[in-house]
Every structure is written in C-alpha cells, then in structure tokens.
A and B are shown apart, each in its own frame.
Chain A
Amino acid sequence: MSDQVNPPVRLKGVGDRLWITFDATLPLEELKKEINRPFERLNQLAINARIILDAGEQGADATIINELGGYLKEKFHVGKVTGPPEKPQQDETHKRAGDLSNAWHNHRSEALIIAGRVRSGQKIQAEKHLVIMGDLNPGAEAIAGGDIIILGTLLGTAIAGQPDNESAIIMAMDFRPTQIQIGGLAAAGDASTGNKGKTPEFAKIEQNKIMVMDYNTENPFKRLAWPEVR
C-alpha cells in the first residue's frame, strides 16, 4: 500500500507558505492526529504561517479544509488557511507569449549571495543556491541545497545539491577546489590540473560522474531555448 511509503500528511515550505498535502480519505480525527506531528516539530515557526491544505488529485470538500484549518488555528496559532490555488490552465507556449519581463512575477527562487573571502575553518551554508562574490580559501567549506557559484577562486571544498539534487552545478572563475560534492557524489581536486583561472569552469554530474568543464565553451544553459528559474 502506498501510504506506507508516503505518510498521510506531508509538509513543505513553499515561498512564505506552508503547503500541507494530506490524504482526504482518512477520517478527520486521524488526520488531526497525523497533522500534529509535523506541526509540533515546527514549534513557534508555525505561528501566523500561511497554510495551504492540499488533498492532491482527489481533492477535498470545503468542510474538511475548514475543519482542519480551524483546528490548526486553535492549536498551533497559524495564520490564514486556504485550499490549493486553482491551477492556471496555461501551457508552455501560452506562458511564453507573455512579456518576458513579467514572466518572473510568479516565481520565487532563493539564493544566498555573499561578498568577501571565506577563510580556512569557516563554513557557509545556503538553503538553496549560493553565490560567493569573492574567494573560497583552502580549508573553507561552502554547502548549498542548489548551485554554488563563485565569482572568484574556488580553493576550498564546495558541496552543492544537498542532499540529493544531482542537477546542481558548481562554478568558479578560477576552479581549483580541494574537493567537490554534488548530490551524493564526491570528487577530489587535483592541484596540478587547474588552469589557474584562464577560463571559468564548472562541475556537473554526467553519467553518474562529476565532470569539470570549461564554462565558456560547454555552458550547459546556452542550449536552453527559453530562460527558466533555477
């Protein structure tokens, strides 16, 4: 049965909201019990949070959403509770027909952008993408849920796509890392192979291996016909 793999209530942060997916076939009392678990872990983070209750494909009627919403407000002091937003019936061409400069209005992407030198023993962590305008020294560590982009020299350890995003990339103007990791794969740097900043390079996973390439000639995004959110 599928609910052994998927818990009946799942919680995910989406932008500034908490998106709860739940199995509407369960009796209400059991749902309340299940929903306690993730919210207890959130603790005061749940206070005033905007909540979206999503019963998935099957959908749920308004009473269940009202009922559960009231319960969450009372017990965990959450903010506004709504059902999932209506899916916009747009296809790709329709989306692109819009003005490109307006196309990003509905998107959210989080990146941590820092400036300066990261020194030995220091560690920078980003939920999603990480941009360092500066150098990452030997002995320093950068860890990101998404991509790591270093506008400077990468000499330390860069760990991208944590825990399991294998499409993440690591890029640096001068790419001479001690070690890199993408998702679950790791590769050791080799001081003798760096090209000392002649060209920017990037690493990505190809056929289950980390490959390092010249960004100017192999830029993987050049081939994307239409700009998309990373």
Chain B
Amino acid sequence: MEGKIVVVTSGKGGVGKTTVTASLGAALALQGKRVAVVDMDIGLRNLDVVMGLENRIIFNIVDVVQGKCKLKQATIKDRRINNLYLIPASQSDEKDTIKPENMKWLCNKLKKEFDFTLLDCPAGIEQGFKNSIEAADEAIVVCMPEISSVRDADRVIGLLYSRSITPKLIVNRIIPKMVERGDMLSHQDVVDVLSIELLGLVETDENIVVSANTGLPVVMQKDSKAGKSFIEIAMRMNGHPDLPIEDPTAPRSLWKKLSGKISRKSKVQIS
C-alpha cells in the first residue's frame, strides 16, 4: 500500500510547523511507521537543526529535483529513532527553484518508500506553500490561539479546500492560565471560527525549547506535556482517530468527539 503525504502548514510564521513536523515524525516512527520529514523551506532551512542532523547534510531536496543525486543520497537517517528520515532543504537556493511538477514526481517516489511523509511548509502562501500542497493527500493546519494566526490559518484552510484537501487542526502554544484568565483565545474559540476537525491541543512547553537545542525529540522526554500531546496526535493519525482529546485548560476533562446526530421521533409531513 502507498503511504500518505501530509503537509504541515499555517499561513503565519513561527506558530510551530517545524516543531509539529519534527515531533509527529518522531512519534509516528516510534509507533513503528516508516516516516520521512521533508523541509520545504528552501533558503531558510530549519528542520535539520531542530532534529540535530545539520552536520550530516551532504545533499538536499534541490539536488534531488535537479538530478544531482539520488533520493536515497539526500535522505538522512535519524540518530536515535529507527525508521525516521529527513530530507533537508537547501540553504542557498532561491525559493522558486522547485516547481509543483517536481514535487509530484518526488512525492510519488516518497509514497512508495514511506508510510508517512510529512512536509514542513514554509510560512506564507507563495511558491513554497504551493509546492507543498501540490502533492499532499492530507493537511495539518497549525494555529496559535491568537487572532492573526487564526486569520491566516483560515485563509490557508480556504486554499486547501479549493484544492480538495480537507485539513485537520492542531492548536499549538496554549497557555492554560492565560485562557482561564480570559487573556487568550480558548481552543474552542479557534475551532468555532475555523470549523475543521480538531486533531489535537498542544500547550506551551519549555521542553520544546530544550528539545530544539539538544535534538532530543520532545516525544522522548518523560513528563513533557507537549510530548504526550504529540504522541496522541500521532495515534489519531495512525489508526486511532477517536482517541479523546484532553483539554489542557480544564485538567482531567476530555473533549470527546460527539457524533452530533440527533434523532427525531417523527418527520413532519406536509400534505
């Protein structure tokens, strides 16, 4: 069976796409899947640093597309996690070196090798975004509980729907105390406006900063709340779609997925 191409996108920059890509990639691989994470941010690569693999890069995605190397040569194996591979971006090329048709070709190859290919999309809705969604089967929209992030996520969701991709939502960087005080949008406010399926809620967690510096994935850190959320999100992507979502703003309560079906006793007949 062919694997899935999942694009991780947000519109707005700095909301956690790279963090989500690296963490979900690690979690899915730990759950036994073969996973590739691809840095689509040509010219501003980042994913390699977050994963602690920057010193191993020889070839990159642009080299593959331009035929300068084989896909295998640009695929870097993770140091700690089996089955996890990185395809780095190029640091020096222009943003539009890669064309959508290149991505179709590349993703077709990746699908045959990997169960999940996660594309770390650059911010914005320009060429890098267009390339990233060209061959995607699924999309994850990352949004922070913040008005400008919601606005950009909404724009991106519209663009994804126009390409017949149904996106799912991760609300990242929730600070429960601020939500309780009413100083931050709640995830419910975000879901109300975006009205797409919620895949998970991730708190702001210091461990993520530590992880970005040490390269130890947050999903491997004991007692990391964000790590736990990412493990659960990976499970929802990986055969357990109904795993309840924990609401960080109301400890111990679960945000159950309700079926939303109301049955009526009888239909009104108009004669």
- With A137-B193, A138-B193, A155-B193 as known contacts, state yes or no: A120 contacts B158, CB within 8 Å: yes
In residues 139-193 of chain B, which contact A (Cβ within 8 Å)? Answer: 147, 150-152, 154-155, 157-159, 161, 193
- With A137-B193, A138-B193, A155-B193 as known contacts, state yes or no: A119 contacts B150, CB within 8 Å: no
- What is the bound-complex CA distance between A119 and B167, given in angstroms? 14
- With A117-B195, A138-B193, A155-B193 as known contacts, state yes or no: A122 contacts B147, CB within 8 Å: no
In residues 150-190 of chain A, which contact B (Cβ within 8 Å)? Answer: 155
| CB <8 Å contact, B147 and A120 | no
Considering the complex, give the chain B residue whose CB is closest to the CB of A134. B195
| CB <8 Å contact, A119 and B157 | yes
- What is the bound-complex CA distance between A120 and B125, given in angstroms? 13
Q: Which chain B positions have C-beta within 8 A of A119?
A: 154-155, 157-158, 161
- What is the bound-complex CA distance between A138 and B133, given in angstroms? 24
- The total of interchain contacts (Cβ-Cβ below 8 angstroms) comes to 29
State the Cβ distance, A92 to closest chain B Cβ, in Å: 32
A121 interface residue, CB < 8 Å from B?
Answer: yes
Could you tell me how many residues of chain A have their Cβ less than 8 Å away from some Cβ of chain B? 10
CB within 8 A of A120: which of B155, B161, B195? Answer: B155
- What is the bound-complex CA distance between A135 and B193, given in angstroms? 8
State the Cβ distance, A48 to closest chain B Cβ, in Å: 34
Considering the complex, give the chain B residue whose CB is closest to the CB of A191. B147
Considering the complex, give the chain B residue whose CB is closest to the CB of A155. B193
Main DSSP-derived SS at the B contact region: helix
| CB <8 Å contact, B158 and A122 | yes
Could you tell me how many residues of chain B have their Cβ less than 8 Å away from some Cβ of chain A? 12
- With A138-B147, A138-B150 as known contacts, state yes or no: A121 contacts B195, CB within 8 Å: no
State the Cβ distance, B143 to closest chain A Cβ, in Å: 12
State the Cβ distance, B126 to closest chain A Cβ, in Å: 14
Q: Which chain B positions have C-beta within 8 A of A121?
A: 154-155, 158-159
- What is the bound-complex CA distance between A120 and B194, given in angstroms? 10
Q: Which chain A positions have C-beta within 8 A of B154?
A: 119-121, 137-139
Q: Which chain A positions have C-beta within 8 A of B157?
A: 119
- What is the bound-complex CA distance between A137 and B156, given in angstroms? 13
Task: Mark A130-151 against chain B: 1 for CB-CB distance below 8 A, else 0.
Answer: 0000010111000000000000
| CB <8 Å contact, B195 and A139 | no
State the Cβ distance, B128 to closest chain A Cβ, in Å: 18
Q: Which chain B positions have C-beta within 8 A of A139?
A: 151, 154-155
- What is the bound-complex CA distance between A121 and B156, given in angstroms? 9
- What is the bound-complex CA distance between A119 and B155, given in angstroms? 6
- What is the bound-complex CA distance between A122 and B160, given in angstroms? 13
- What is the bound-complex CA distance between A121 and B159, given in angstroms? 9
State the Cβ distance, B174 to closest chain A Cβ, in Å: 20
Considering the complex, give the chain A residue whose CB is closest to the CB of B150. A138
CB within 8 A of B151: which of A117, A122, A135, A138? Answer: A138
- What is the bound-complex CA distance between A119 and B154, given in angstroms? 6
Q: Which chain A positions have C-beta within 8 A of B158?
A: 119-122
- What is the bound-complex CA distance between A139 and B195, given in angstroms? 15
- What is the bound-complex CA distance between A139 and B125, given in angstroms? 15
State the Cβ distance, A141 to closest chain B Cβ, in Å: 12
State the Cβ distance, B155 to closest chain A Cβ, in Å: 4
* Interface-centre pick from A122, A135, A155 (highest chain B CB count, 10 A): A122
- What is the bound-complex CA distance between A135 and B195, given in angstroms? 10
- What is the bound-complex CA distance between A135 and B154, given in angstroms? 12
- What is the bound-complex CA distance between A117 and B150, given in angstroms? 15
Nearest 3 interchain pairs by C-beta: A119-B158, A120-B154, A121-B155
Q: B residues touching A (Cβ–Cβ < 8 Å)?
A: 147, 150-152, 154-155, 157-159, 161, 193, 195
Q: A residues touching B (Cβ–Cβ < 8 Å)?
A: 117, 119-122, 135, 137-139, 155
Q: List 25 A-B contacts (CB under 8 A).
A: A119-B154, A119-B155, A119-B158, A119-B161, A120-B151, A120-B152, A120-B154, A120-B155, A120-B158, A121-B154, A121-B158, A121-B159, A122-B158, A135-B193, A135-B195, A137-B154, A137-B193, A138-B147, A138-B150, A138-B151, A138-B154, A139-B151, A139-B154, A139-B155, A155-B193
Other contacts beyond A119-B155, A137-B154: 17, CB < 8 A: A119-B154, A119-B157, A119-B158, A120-B154, A120-B155, A120-B158, A121-B155, A121-B159, A122-B158, A135-B193, A135-B195, A138-B147, A138-B151, A139-B151, A139-B154, A139-B155, A155-B193
